[in-house]
Amino acid sequence: MFCRANMKKVLFAIILFSAVLLIAACGTKARQPSNALDTPEHHVFTGMKLIDQEKYSEAEREFTLALELNDKYSKAYTGMGLAKAYQQNYTAAFGELEKAWGTAKAADEQLAVHIGYIRVNTLSKVACMKIGVDCEQDKSWLKKCVSSYEEAVKLDPSSSSAPYFMGLAYKTALDYGKAGAMFAKVLEIRKEYVSQANAQWNLVQKIQRAMPGTVTGKKIALLESISRADAAALFMEELKIDVLYKKRTPKTFDTSFKDPEKAARSAGPAALTAKDIANHPLKADIEGILAIGVRGLEINPQGNFEPAGALNRAEYALMIEDILIKVTGDNALATKFIGSTSPFPDLRSDLPYFNAVMVVTSRGIMEATDITTGEFAPLKPVPGADALLIIRKIKEELKFD
């Protein structure tokens, strides 16, 4: 009896062990490398380069190839998470980062995951800002970035990637002081992202010089090209053009007799508006500009304002010229430089915006885009930081703040 019972236990153990081996044998086998460069490390390196080139689908393919060779390679999951995030699939992105952390053993793998969290959290916030959503569902995104940054620095104090992406996080949070400090740290370390950090540091410095005083202004400062709606918001909120006009425009009084009934009927005209701004977030600013009247920011013959229309430097110069004429009362500015020789190699003196460009450049409000060639670049877009800096210069010119 005893021997038979023991034999059954041994037989059961053998069957169970054999079943485990069978299941393991039937599992997914790692793909065998096809050549010397077919390694997880090379595929991840290539995938990260493709992310920098904004080729996210191709990057995913590289990370997949890396995981086929080694499904425990943490950096491949981190890269996959970034590729998903850049394609705005944030749920999948965070899922990949969890896998990356679960397989991270070495310090450099853990460092990559921490930096990955900084990047994905920031990208998620940027996406919310672009569509005008406040992202109240995750108010702690910046705290998470700071926590990841602190852990990254513990692992590698000489990492330049960590402060660079933390700088982008602070910039997204509109904290330009801390952003500038992070980009300066990258320049001190002088390893990776040096040129990118230098460009970002210069941008932050320009924004700080412009001193945007409103949240709208701080957000517009990040734009590579402002729209007509953005210009309206900057003039209303940053320049406070309505207050400026009231202070600088002489008051006129109509003392003639008015029929009481006719006066009542004509009182309180409806606000001037456009057909295409009903649901625009900057509707109030646009209507404010329409009521005041700024050359170049009018309603078109079809009754539309075209809020998304991009502005170029020549158009912005025309608007600034119009504001200066109205505020100073100097109508001679409108023709002051007609017949003059152009100092800019890319600006003919017979162009309709030549006088406006000369007015703003002669006063130092706008300047050439390239000091080596002297080009004004009239058809180039107006970056948000430049638009704000120009408004700051107008305030200094008019001694208005």
Position 258 in a domain: no
- Quick one: 178 and 246 in the same domain? no
The whole-angstrom separation of Cα 90 and Cα 82 is 9
- Quick one: 295 and 203 in the same domain? no
Task: Answer whether 207's CB lies under 8 Å from 390's CB.
Answer: no
Position 262 in a domain: no
Please name the residues in contact with 365: beta carbons below 8 A apart, sequence gap of 6 or more. Answer: 320, 390, 393, 394, 397
Give the confidence band of 134 by pLDDT, cuts at 50, 70, 90: low
- Quick one: 141 and 278 in the same domain? no
Give the confidence band of 217 by pLDDT, cuts at 50, 70, 90: very high
Average pLDDT in the chain: 89
- Quick one: 112 and 190 in the same domain? yes
- Quick one: 241 and 330 in the same domain? yes
> Which residue range forms the structural domain that includes residue 322?
217-250+273-398
- Quick one: 367 and 222 in the same domain? yes
Predicted local confidence at residue 178, as pLDDT: 97
SS3 percent helix, strand, coil of the chain, rounded to 5, is: 65, 0, 35
**Which of 212, 234, 263 is the endpoint of a domain?**
212
**Which of 197, 212, 227 is the endpoint of a domain?**
212
Average pLDDT of span 73-82: 98
The whole-angstrom separation of Cα 354 and Cα 334 is 10
- Quick one: 52 and 154 in the same domain? yes
pTM of the predicted model as reported, rounded to 2 decimal places: 0.80
Position 5 in a domain: no
Q: How many domains does the chain have?
A: 2
Tokens of 239: 């320049």
- Quick one: 200 and 237 in the same domain? no
The whole-angstrom separation of Cα 397 and Cα 231 is 19
- Quick one: 150 and 45 in the same domain? yes
Position 34 in a domain: no
Average pLDDT of span 130-148: 77
pLDDT exceeds cutoff 60 at 31? yes
Position 1 in a domain: no
- Quick one: 230 and 186 in the same domain? no
Position 344 in a domain: yes
Residue 80 maps to which CATH number? 1.25.40.10
- Quick one: 303 and 202 in the same domain? no
pLDDT exceeds cutoff 60 at 234? yes
Model pLDDT for residues 268-317, shown as the tens digit of each residue: 455 689 999 999 999 999 999 999 999 999 999 999 999 999 999 999 99
